Chains A and B, each alone.
Chain A
Amino acid sequence: MIFIREEDRVAAEGRKKRLLTIYIAIASLFVIAALLLLFLSPDRYQPYMAVTIVLTIAFGCYSVFFFSVQYDFAKKTDRLLDKVLSALPEREYGVFIKELDSLTYEGIEMRTFRFLLPDGERDVHHYQGDISLKEGVKYIVEIRAGVLYELAEMGERDEKEIS
């Protein structure tokens, strides 16, 4: 089962661009609204100023959320998928030992599995897709940049081929 495909990377890149476009559109609307409120305000400008302050707080908080959470996540996802798909594949067989607590890798929280590979124990991150692994069972795993790219249960034929 392959977990990460080129389409995922393209989708992540598209999502990043779409988010940025929406943000720029909202920012432009905010700037226009704020300038209109300023330039059209009469001498008794307090209500106009109050509306502008509320708009600015809303836009400012959205900006903080956007750059700290929303866009930041999209950017990190895109970067991670880029890194995974361009990394050298490591195809190994290994025994699944246990699932660890979710860990953040490249800024993204992911499930983490511990495998016993021929060169020792190794923690592998799982980006997406539901899987349930059985402890003590041998799997063929393809790891790219520390992330599980492909996984298959190991049959007798595979074992003979590898040995």
Chain B
Amino acid sequence: MKKRFLDSLPSDWIKYLVVIVLSVFLWLWVFGLYHAPKETEKLEVFYAGVVNDYEVEDIAAEAVGVKLVSISSAYPRTGNAFDEKYSLVALTASDVVIVPKEIADETDCERAFEPIVGIEGEAYNRNGVQYGVYLSSERKQALSAYFTFEYDEYIVFAVAASMNSGQVTNHSFTLIEWLVG
């Protein structure tokens, strides 16, 4: 049998190679898929500005107790299709949004954001309902290693379309609590 095996190698080595390569890629994909965070185990954050250090994602994930926090960003008002990104990414696909007050004032908060109750910090109200919390200057200072704050005032919101904003979990509010300190 050993001789037959050795005789078969010149024609069959490619099959062994394919098996090895396929095994690695197949299980990388299957394990990745199986352990991919569910919608309720991850948080998407939209930041209107520049992110300096994405290490904040891991810190925030640990603080909130979710598997993954990922931040997408767009710099406002530079002709880089910010408005499109803001309406498509921030208001529909994200859980938490951090934007300057100028942007917040132009947003239909009643439809886009979930009212916030019981989080300490300066409230951002619309028609008597609190939708956001201002980032204090101390918190901006503390977070400046990770974010560039070019505007005077930044407000944090919980996106109404997110299942983490009270529909299934309250992770969005936990993250806001952590952000505003």
Q: Point out residues on A near B: beta carbons under 8 Å.
A: 38, 41, 43, 45, 48-49, 52-53, 56-57, 60-61, 63-65, 68-70, 73
- Whether the Cβ atoms of B31 and A69 lie closer than 8 Å is no
- Whether the Cβ atoms of B23 and A60 lie closer than 8 Å is yes
- Whether the Cβ atoms of A64 and B12 lie closer than 8 Å is yes
* Chain B interface helix/strand/loop/mixed: helix
From the candidates A45, A48, A60, A73, name the one contacting B20 in the complex (CB within 8 A).
Answer: A60
Known: A61-B16, A68-B12, A69-B4. A56 touches B28 (CB 8 A): no
Instruction: Give the contact-size bracket for chain B.
Output: 20 to 34
Measured between beta carbons, the chain B residues less than 8 angstroms from A73 are 1, 4
Q: How many A-B residue pairs have C-beta atoms within 8 angstroms? Tell me.
A: 51
The reply on B34 being an interface residue by CB < 8 A is yes
Min CB–CB distance B14 → chain A (angstroms): 10
In the A-B complex, the 6 residue pairs with the smallest Cβ-Cβ separation, listed nearest first, are A60-B19, A56-B23, A49-B31, A64-B15, A57-B23, A53-B27
* Chain A interface helix/strand/loop/mixed: helix
Residue of B nearest to A43 (CB): B35
Bound-complex Cα distance A68 to B16 (A): 11
Of residues 23 to 82 in B, which have CB atoms within 8 Å of A's CB atoms?
A: 23-24, 26-28, 30-31, 34-35, 67
Bound-complex Cα distance A117 to B107 (A): 101
- Whether the Cβ atoms of A61 and B24 lie closer than 8 Å is no
